[in-house]
Amino acid sequence: MRAFSPLSLFSVVAAVFTLLLVLAPSQTSASPVTSVKRATSSNYWLANIKRQGSVAYGSDSSYAVYRNVMDYGAKGDGSTDDTAAINAAIAAGSRCGWGCDSSTVKPALVYFPPGTYMVSQPIVMLYYTQLVGDALNLPVLKATAGFQGMAVLDSDPYDSSGANMFTNQNNFFRQVRNFKIDLTGMPQTAGAGIHWQVAQATSLQNIVFNMIPGSASKQVGIFMDNGSGGFMSDLVFNGGNYGAFLGNQQFTSRNWTFNNCNTAIFMNWNWAWTLKSVSINNCGVGLDMSNGGSTNILIGSVILMDSKLTNTPIGVKTSFTSNSAPATAGTLIIDNVDFSGSPIAVASADGSSILAGGKVVTSWGEGRQYAGTSGSRVQGPLAAPSKPAALLDASGKFFERSKPQYESLPASSFISVKSFGAKGDGVTDDTAAIQKAMAGTTSNQILYFDHGAYVVSKTINVPNKIKMTGEIWPLIMATGSFFADPSNPQPVFDIGKAGEAGAVEITDLMFETKGPAPGAIMLKWNMASAQGASGIWDAHVRIGGSAGTGLQSDKCSKNPSSTAVNTACEGAYMLFWAGTKSAGVYLENTWFWVADHELDLPDHNQINIYNGRGVYIESQGPVWLYGTSSEHNVFYNYEIRNAKNVFMGMIQSETPYFQSNPKAPAPFVPQRPSDPTFSICSSQNPSAPCYKSWGLRVIDSTNVFIHGLGLYSFFENYSQDCVATNNCQQNMIGLQGSNNNLNMYAVTTKASVNMITLDNGVAAALDADNRNVFGATVAYYRKGGSSARDCDDEDEEDDQ
């Protein structure tokens, strides 16, 4: 849960956007049309495998997880209005819409065969929905000439009073992939492809937006008014006024192409946004982040990296000046961007040149940069750090790889875990069956987890050569005494073995605990992989707050007036661990979430779940993390220790809402040399609560590149009085020991007095010196050599 929605100013952008807003039709249950003859077939495996997924903790045994829109009457013939049929396919089974806000027990994987689907009103995405088009022959969603509504696809409709169907910053768990969205049949004065008002565990992938080109066009590919995301990749925008009109707390976007847009990207507002591998061709402006003007900039920060502009007169528009306000608003980082096709690389809001184009810009920024503890305002070149070859692709860009969809494989290559005896019923111990399935799946097969809840009571040893995927996030649920001892933690999924080389791919799975599991390491990555051979995409760890976990609001609701800890509400030991021998670790759009509120019970109350640690990296690399979040862990949300060659593209965290009740590290005790003891709090003379989770720690590590951080503290024991005064906690980022070639860009924290803290509690950057639109932002922080203290003693080194 994001504690703050954007200000009301950002909620009225729909009016500014000049799109017609109409009420979405009420969601009702629907049944398949059994007499429909499917006009289009496909060899795409997703359309042809046996369907046997079920909801373990639902109340309707006949509920259909998978649905094909043609089974509900859609024609896809380019002439029939398929709006009602598509919305019926999505809504079937009395799913979560108006008045629900969230539910994990009504998931829907909705498949669109090849064809052209005419729509005259929005396709409304209900909660926990994946819309998947045929990956071999992308289906077209084409708006009719008389289309009425905000967008062809709507993830969060408004009603007539301006209220959303879902709380925008909690609008989790949805995907859209493999589509063409066509607005060219509409008048050029109106139309949007997707209204994407979402939060974590969401993605757009492999979508083409076709719009009317020209200066008179008012069409938009993506319209985003607010939310708290998120990740999007592999998108193409053709024509239109704005390819993407964006506003969100934080986001990672990768591999976007814009052709013939008036403005490729209009950044309406944000706290932090990382844009990577963007190709902008024949547009008027590449990125417009000037909104609000120099006296009231509405953009927190943008990173534009590994990108190229062609035949685009202005690359970036900004309102940042020597005295613009807020002080660090409009922070911009340009890293390895080819402006050869733009005469002006960076322009002021009126179009006058700030940075000439016609060349590759290696490293440039505006905002405040820091060397050691000294900060200064900058609008110009930045020091260009050395980037290790291990992190780069052949062209010199940071390596990236899109989520595999296995579209070239036949359905016969997919082996269901149920064929090895797994039940997925949320009760049966499926440990042995899953282990048997792991051993029985060959390297040219895909192990398929049908939707369900697979209870495991011991470690699952994942072989070093296997690929696995799931049907809309089936649950892997750790439980029992084997995972109960925090002094002897055990992995749930143990990926490969240290010293081995391999290739493992994991997509679309969900990892949870069933009851307390304070000795469970949810995912431990041990093996080494070649670049691009392994990865985890769209797979998440969710601790508590949902049906079947036993860690819900009926037992674990917040109780700020009590100092007692309910040990029955403990979660796991650690959410992700990249071990010392691991290499080739690749995570993309992975959310490590200790639930702060209830998803399924009707109260949706805030809850106390006590989870030890978040993401821990001690790999010698390479490691790549794109669009990850780690939230509400007691010790730390991210820690990088004795690691090497690590890249992170936008990381996000939140401090547990219950802290400092109890004070960290309670209810746990440090178990490892890498655990902070918070002894710094006794020597620092803090001016804010100090015994709180670290958002990020980096200790004795080399070649660390973090391109975007949003690390937030919103509460002190559920009180938000500290937000306005920006003192909910004392420290957020801890840098210790000998960190070499550590580079952090667009560092945003909220309500932490010290943004960055060095050894012995020395503050390197203060919130008060770096205020932005909501939090505080440092454009660039570099630590190139040894700190003042240069020793290797673990006990001294990790005493913060």
pLDDT value of position 371: 87
Query: Rounded CA gap, 417 and 45, in Å?
Result: 16
Lowest mean pLDDT among 33-42, 394-403, 447-456, 780-789: 33-42
pLDDT averaged over every residue in the chain = 94
3-state helix, strand, coil in the chain (%, to 5): 10, 40, 50
Nearest to 646 by CA among 578, 560, 557: 578
The alpha carbon of 663 is separated from its chain's Cα centroid by a whole number of angstroms, namely 28
297: its two tokens: 């900039």
422: its two tokens: 């797994």
CB 450 within 8 A of CB 430: no
pLDDT tens-digit map of 503-549 = 999 999 999 999 999 999 999 999 999 999 999 999 999 999 999 99
Residue 9 has pLDDT above 60, yes or no: no
Lowest mean pLDDT among 160-169, 330-339, 586-595: 160-169
Eight-class DSSP state of 97: -
pLDDT band at 776; cut points 50, 70, 90: very high
Residue 6 has pLDDT above 60, yes or no: no
pLDDT band at 389; cut points 50, 70, 90: very high
Furthest CA-CA distance within the chain: 76
pLDDT value of position 5: 43
Spatial CB neighbours of 35, under 8 Å, sequence gap ≥ 6: none
CB 797 within 8 A of CB 389: no
Share of the chain above pLDDT 90, in %: 91
pLDDT tens-digit map of 241-266 = 999 999 999 999 999 999 999 999 99
pLDDT value of position 31: 61
pLDDT tens-digit map of 412-444 = 999 999 999 999 999 999 999 999 999 999 999
Residue-wise DSSP of 428-451: EE-HHHHHHHHHH--TTSEEEE-S
CB 299 within 8 A of CB 324: no
Length of the chain: 800
Q: Are strands 202-210 and 535-537 parallel, antiparallel or unpaired?
A: unpaired
Q: Can you tell me whether residue 87 is helix, strand or coil? A: helix
Q: Which residue has the tokens 């359309």?
A: 47
Lowest mean pLDDT among 241-255, 443-457, 678-692: 678-692
CB 367 within 8 A of CB 779: yes
pLDDT value of position 788: 29
pLDDT value of position 33: 54
Average pLDDT over residues 76-82: 98
Residue 361 has pLDDT above 90, yes or no: yes
Spatial CB neighbours of 329, under 8 Å, sequence gap ≥ 6: 292, 297, 298, 299, 300, 320, 772, 773, 777
Q: Which CATH class is domain 1-228?
A: mainly beta
CB 754 within 8 A of CB 730: yes
313: its two tokens: 């007169």
472: its two tokens: 């809309």
Q: Which residue ranges make up each domain of the chain?
A: 1-228
CA dihedral 293, 296, 299, 304 (to 10 degrees): 40
Q: Which residue has the tokens 């070239």?
A: 408
Average pLDDT over residues 351-357: 99
Ramachandran sector of residue 600 (left: φ over 0; alpha: ψ -120 to 50; beta: rest): alpha
Average pLDDT over residues 560-572: 98
pTM score of the predicted model: 0.95
Nearest to 629 by CA among 575, 667, 571: 575
In terms of C-beta density within 10 A (0-12 exposed, 13-18 middle, 19 or more buried), how is residue 269 classed?
buried
In terms of C-beta density within 10 A (0-12 exposed, 13-18 middle, 19 or more buried), how is residue 499 classed?
exposed
- Angle at alpha carbon of residue 563, lines to 561 and 568, rounded to 5°: 110
Spatial CB neighbours of 610, under 8 Å, sequence gap ≥ 6: 565, 567, 569, 570, 571, 634, 667, 668
pLDDT value of position 784: 84
Q: What radius of gyration do the chain's Cα atoms show?
A: 25
Which residues does residue 542 pair with via DSSP β-bridges, in sequence order?
593
Eight-class DSSP state of 211: -
pLDDT value of position 41: 80
Q: C-alpha distances in angstroms, 284 versus 10, 190, 306, 346, 747?
A: 25, 20, 20, 13, 30
799: its two tokens: 């005493």
Instruction: List, in sequence order, every beta strand (DSSP E) within 260-299.
Output: 263-281, 285-289
CB 69 within 8 A of CB 89: yes
Residue 567 has pLDDT above 50, yes or no: yes
Residue-wise DSSP of 670-732: --STTS---THHHHS--SS--SS-EEEEEES-EEEEEEEEEEE---BTTB-HHHHHT-SEEEE
Lowest mean pLDDT among 71-85, 339-353, 714-728, 781-795: 781-795
Q: Can you tell me whether residue 780 is helix, strand or coil? A: strand
Which residues does residue 577 pair with via DSSP β-bridges, in sequence order?
524, 616
pLDDT band at 794; cut points 50, 70, 90: very low
Query: Rounded CA gap, 577 and 619, in Å?
Result: 9
pLDDT band at 684; cut points 50, 70, 90: confident
pLDDT tens-digit map of 573-593 = 999 999 999 999 999 999 999
Spatial CB neighbours of 128, under 8 Å, sequence gap ≥ 6: 95, 96, 103, 104, 106, 107, 108, 173, 174, 472
Residue 787 has pLDDT above 80, yes or no: no
